[in-house]
Structure 1
Amino acid sequence: MGWAAFIMGASILVSRFMGLIRDKTISYFFGASNQSDLYFAAFVIPDFINYLLAGAYFSITLIPLLADYFDHNEQDGWHFFSTVFTWIGLIISVLTGVAMILAPQLAHIAAPGLQEEDLTRLAWFLRIILPAQICFLLGSCLSAVLYLRKQFTVPALTPLIYNLSIIAGGVLLHGWGIVGFCWGVLAGALLGNLLLPYLAVRWGGGLRLRFSLYHPGLKRFIVLALPLMLGQSIVVLDEQLVRVFGSLAGVGAISWLSYARRIMLVPVGVVAQAAGVASFPFLADLFSKKNFTQFHKTLNEALKSVLTLLIPVSLWMMVVARPTITLIFQQGHFGWQDTEQTALLLQILLAAVFCWGFQQVLGRGFYACQDTLTPAILGTIVMLISLPVYYVLTQHYQAVGVALASAISVALYTAALFLWWLYRFGGESFAGLGEIVVKVAIVSVVACGPATFLATLRIPHWHNHPYLEALYTIAASGLMFSIIFLALAGYFLPALIRPFLRKLGPLGTRFIR
């Protein structure tokens, strides 16, 4: 599980880095303007359709079922897979076609705060991006087979190809304006998310795909997937809510929020998402074998590891939020005013990073138990509660209010998942977590003191070199924070920190000594 998490974590890290390059390219050419707002708003409807069909959770839903069928009869397993694949292809194709026809009307829903002429362009962007959802959903089915085979490399490559295609489309078609990035989205989805997994499944163990409309297991799949389809969790709709309410917060707000959210999700993806994806097949296997003691122990270890990494990283990132935005985005049409706004929003969003990580892993625990209903119901309830929170805070605090509402919503959802798991399964999976959170938080806050001093220290004559100053600030404060944190954690939290240090090789071993 550790190696699988390492592969996925490395992939997500590179993917997030490429995502930052993509957003850097957009911010360079268009800054935080109505054009960049249009681009980010163009994903609201396509992403909602993806979430409506539980596209982000297809692998989670399919893996336990595929495991059962393939264990008993491989031919029957391929029959089941073909039936699911056929129905998903038909449904997403019909929904995509209808959405393309209704694009002008859907544009008003995606960004109600935009002007009429901008909404016309938004409808055009929607029609370009919408077909990518066909590739995403069918590719998710194929990736489920790869995860089942414990083949993580190709799924790890798909987001890299996707982001690279978007960057290439925007640069090569720059003369067309920001629409070039939209064409890059479609190309990246086709190449990275559909074609690559298809070839990997076919060449990595065989693919027996045929047109099929019925299999007895289809009903079982629908029962598991339906809660994810109908229950729109706050964590999957958070990005869309940020964009919708961001359109009501003035020009540039959608872009500021999108840039800040992208950086906030880097530690979430590298640490929590990787741990969740890697641990899920193992958790599902343990649950199917009714090895509940090891199941709770594995979940507990995953939660401890995620919190041990996310709490210090997110606190340090809050310290260096401004130089980070300066280094990554402040160039071209993205000015210092945009940097100040985006850095403030980033700090607010980072405050809830540990909640993102906790729910990512705990949610996989529910899915491993083949319980997709509970997270869907809790997520939908929290989403309904959050809508007025978004509206009120947006009206009073504009973009800052949107960021606050996002952080509050994720925290509420995490608390709901935690309390329900505690009620249903007891506290075995959370043994020692409270003490660890408190100790890691204290050590992190202490380490942030000197790091904050270095981050606020201004070097004479460097005001004409903002990127060099930002790079120095991040490096110096990061080094100071790391040394103090590792020293204190190694002394007060040796059982937690030493496994991570050992993975650093000789350097980590020497630090332990």
Structure 2
Amino acid sequence: MHLNPEVTRRPRASRIPFLVALLGGSVLLSRVLGLVREMVLAAELGAGAEVDAYRAAFQVPDILFHFLSGGAFAVAFVPFYTRIRETRGDAAAERLLAVGFGTMAVVSALATAGLWIWAEELVALQFPRFAPETQALTVRLTRIVLPAQIFFVTGGVLRAALMANDRFAPQALAPLVYNAGIIAGGVLGARAMGAEGFAWGALAGAVVGPFLLPLLDLRRAGLRLRFRFAPFDRDFLAYLWRAAPLILGMSLLTVDEWYDKWFGGLLGEGAVAQIGYARMLMLVPVGLIGQAVATAALPALSQLASEGRREELDRTLLSILRASLTLAVVLAAGTLALAEPGVALLFERGRFTAEDSAGVASILVVFCLGVPGWVIQQVAGRGFYAREDMWRPMLLSTAVALLAIPLYLELGERFGSQGIAGAGALAMSVSALCLLLFLRVLHGGPRLTPLIGALGRALLVALPAGVAAGWAASLVQTPWAGCLLGGAAFAIVAIPGLWTLGDEATREVVRGAVGKLFGRRG
């Protein structure tokens, strides 16, 4: 493998704070762009049947992406690629990359073609209560966005190899470019094409962000990319065995969105749209903490595991879990407290009405209860994946996800969209707790007592900060003033509280955030 030692490095645990900052910044910017995307969508299309169709159109492509291991490549490929490189050298790692890229490109293209042909039947099966015109629009949009999965899957292979070589910029930029593509498509095309403008923007964004950017960075890194279709290659089959639980398994991290659409589609016009808006806002703190931390930590944890440094791995993971849990609880409280003025400020314009705002805010309040579970599920899973232990956690997660189906049905029937959000929050919290217990029993770490202490301290910060934010927001009438005053009150209580009650990892995050806010280093 033709590597430039100046631009490629082995992952190091000491770089996790920097990588968390990089990926956290990317996630923050991506969420900001996601908010802009949703604001454009709300203003142009509102929260009715057309948005139901737009959100439902991503269901078949998302399921395809899941079962083609697009998400699994970063999780399963990084530790496997790292071990191959460490034990057998760069040439073997280069060959694995070539086979992974070529084989997944062919398979994803064939699968996309098949699903494109059967799109009408698949939409009717999944959304039987959609009106005929809504089903027809869903089919058209599905066929536009389906080819994007080819670029997500193959780009995922490239980004995984780059992360294993300590190059995270393409991973950070990919979601930004993808969201920018959707926004551009909506701004330029929504007036003439409606939801199809957003769909074409999604396809263009997928080509440029997740695929072309890592392809260019691969050349800068000196990593040679070859195309090799070899589905029965020994190393590729070994990788598939490790990735199979992530491909075949159905963690709530993945299927919760499927459930929201499937069961939301049974509730009537606009339910899928409103749940989607609320879910996107809930995922802002989840992505800012859980996604960034989990992505940044995996290569370093994999390196520690490959070197046999188990105690250091457990200490590092425990520190990450404590800080992540603390921040998740506190940010969830802030999001919950400012749900009503926040939704109105972001979305209430154009075709998005005050009634839509009230509906989305009520769903968001319930969603926020599951934010800590979302974050812990993402981070704790890396304790298994770094050890290349894929099957057992995914069997557990799949069991929880399947057992949760009656909960979604029952709560959805009783309480509508809020019930579906509540089912997701409860199921995710139970899944996260089970995963932590599983990690402790199977691998001996990390210890759970420090996490209970971190949860208690987080609640001591979150409760008064959330109350202060809600009280301050209620003093004014306009959404922007409510968000401004409530956000200020939240920060005044939360930042000193985190500094006083948080552990060193939490204080480091607070120090860095405050330093960036005031333009100085932490």
The answer for the alignment partner of 1:466 in structure 2 is none
1:172 and 2:181 matched: no
Cα distance in 1 between the residues matched to 2:474 and 2:514? 33
Question: Which of 407, 412, 436 is residue 454 of structure 2 equivalent to?
Answer: 436
The answer for the alignment partner of 2:345 in structure 1 is 327
| Alpha-carbon displacement from aligned partner over 1:134-185 (angstroms, at most 9, x marks no partner) | 0000000000111011111121111111111111112212201111111111
Q: CA deviation at 1:37?
A: 0.6
1:36 and 2:51 matched: yes
Question: Which of 262, 265, 275 is residue 244 of structure 1 equivalent to?
Answer: 262
Q: Which runs of 5+ in 1 are unaligned?
A: 460-468
1:389 and 2:389 matched: no
Secondary structure, aligned partner of 1:173: helix
The answer for the alignment partner of 1:260 in structure 2 is 278
The answer to whether the 8 A contact 1:51-1:232 is kept is no
Structure 1 residues 301 and 119: alpha-carbon distance in aligned structure 2, compared to 1, 3 A threshold: same
Q: CA deviation at 1:508?
A: 9.6
Cα distance in 2 between the residues matched to 1:269 and 1:75? 35
The answer for the alignment partner of 2:234 in structure 1 is 216
The residue type equivalent to 1:399 in the other structure is: S
The answer to whether the 8 A contact 1:286-1:295 is kept is yes
Question: Which of 5, 17, 21 is residue 6 of structure 1 equivalent to?
Answer: 21
The answer for the alignment partner of 2:79 in structure 1 is 64
The residue type equivalent to 2:221 in the other structure is: G
| Aligned residue runs from structure 1 range 126-145, under 5 A | 126-145=142-161
Cα distance in 2 between the residues matched to 1:169 and 1:2? 35
Question: Which of 101, 124, 132 is residue 108 of structure 1 equivalent to?
Answer: 124
| Aligned residue runs from structure 1 range 86-101, under 5 A | 86-101=102-117
Cα distance in 2 between the residues matched to 1:6 and 1:18? 18
| Aligned residue runs from structure 1 range 287-306, under 5 A | 287-306=305-324
Structure 1 residues 86 and 311: alpha-carbon distance in aligned structure 2, compared to 1, 3 A threshold: same
Cα distance in 1 between the residues matched to 2:322 and 2:245? 28
Cα distance in 1 between the residues matched to 2:515 and 2:252? 43
1:124 and 2:140 matched: yes
Aligned residues: 502
Q: CA deviation at 1:495?
A: 4.2
The answer for the alignment partner of 2:247 in structure 1 is 229
The answer to whether the 8 A contact 2:400-2:431 is kept is yes
1:187 and 2:204 matched: yes
Q: CA deviation at 1:188?
A: 0.8
Q: Mean Cα displacement is larger for which, 250-259 or 89-98?
A: 89-98
Structure 1 residues 249 and 495: alpha-carbon distance in aligned structure 2, compared to 1, 3 A threshold: same
Q: Mean Cα displacement is larger for which, 426-435 or 56-65?
A: 426-435
Structure 1 residues 338 and 126: alpha-carbon distance in aligned structure 2, compared to 1, 3 A threshold: same
| Aligned residue runs from structure 1 range 319-358, under 5 A | 319-358=337-376
Cα distance in 2 between the residues matched to 1:210 and 1:360? 32
The answer for the alignment partner of 2:378 in structure 1 is 360
Secondary structure, aligned partner of 2:308: coil
The residue type equivalent to 1:69 in the other structure is: I
Q: CA deviation at 1:497?
A: 4.7
Q: CA deviation at 1:275?
A: 0.5
Q: CA deviation at 1:304?
A: 1.1
State TM-score, norm by structure 1. Answer: 0.94
Structure 1 residues 78 and 476: alpha-carbon distance in aligned structure 2, compared to 1, 3 A threshold: same
Structure 1 residues 479 and 496: alpha-carbon distance in aligned structure 2, compared to 1, 3 A threshold: farther
Q: Mean Cα displacement is larger for which, 196-205 or 273-282?
A: 196-205
Q: Mean Cα displacement is larger for which, 28-37 or 59-68?
A: 59-68
Question: Which of 211, 216, 222 is residue 205 of structure 1 equivalent to?
Answer: 222
The answer to whether the 8 A contact 2:327-2:458 is kept is no
Secondary structure, aligned partner of 1:290: coil
Q: CA deviation at 1:203?
A: 2.0
Structure 1 residues 26 and 426: alpha-carbon distance in aligned structure 2, compared to 1, 3 A threshold: same
The answer to whether the 8 A contact 1:297-1:429 is kept is no
The answer to whether the 8 A contact 1:42-1:110 is kept is no
Secondary structure, aligned partner of 2:476: coil
Cα distance in 2 between the residues matched to 1:21 and 1:506? 26
The answer for the alignment partner of 1:309 in structure 2 is 327
The answer for the alignment partner of 1:148 in structure 2 is 164
Secondary structure, aligned partner of 2:404: helix
Cα distance in 1 between the residues matched to 2:255 and 2:58? 12
State TM-score, norm by structure 2. Answer: 0.92
The answer to whether the 8 A contact 1:15-1:160 is kept is yes
Cα distance in 1 between the residues matched to 2:484 and 2:260? 31
The answer to whether the 8 A contact 2:73-2:160 is kept is yes
Q: Mean Cα displacement is larger for which, 85-94 or 255-264?
A: 85-94
Q: CA deviation at 1:488?
A: 3.6
| Aligned residue runs from structure 1 range 11-22, under 5 A | 11-22=26-37
Provide the identity percentage: 31
The answer to whether the 8 A contact 2:186-2:197 is kept is yes
Structure 1 residues 392 and 491: alpha-carbon distance in aligned structure 2, compared to 1, 3 A threshold: closer
Structure 1 residues 211 and 443: alpha-carbon distance in aligned structure 2, compared to 1, 3 A threshold: closer
Cα distance in 1 between the residues matched to 2:181 and 2:516? 37
| Alpha-carbon displacement from aligned partner over 1:273-301 (angstroms, at most 9, x marks no partner) | 10000111110000111101100011011
Structure 1 residues 77 and 488: alpha-carbon distance in aligned structure 2, compared to 1, 3 A threshold: closer
Q: Mean Cα displacement is larger for which, 193-202 or 61-70?
A: 61-70
1:502 and 2:517 matched: no
| Alpha-carbon displacement from aligned partner over 1:58-89 (angstroms, at most 9, x marks no partner) | 11111122112233322222112111222211
| Alpha-carbon displacement from aligned partner over 1:183-210 (angstroms, at most 9, x marks no partner) | 1111111111111111111222232313
The answer for the alignment partner of 2:489 in structure 1 is 480
The residue type equivalent to 1:150 in the other structure is: D
Q: CA deviation at 1:364?
A: 1.1
The answer for the alignment partner of 2:6 in structure 1 is none
Structure 1 residues 253 and 498: alpha-carbon distance in aligned structure 2, compared to 1, 3 A threshold: same
Secondary structure, aligned partner of 1:59: helix
Structure 1 residues 63 and 491: alpha-carbon distance in aligned structure 2, compared to 1, 3 A threshold: closer
The answer for the alignment partner of 2:13 in structure 1 is none
Structure 1 residues 254 and 38: alpha-carbon distance in aligned structure 2, compared to 1, 3 A threshold: same
| Alpha-carbon displacement from aligned partner over 1:244-295 (angstroms, at most 9, x marks no partner) | 1111111111111000000100111111110000111110000111101100
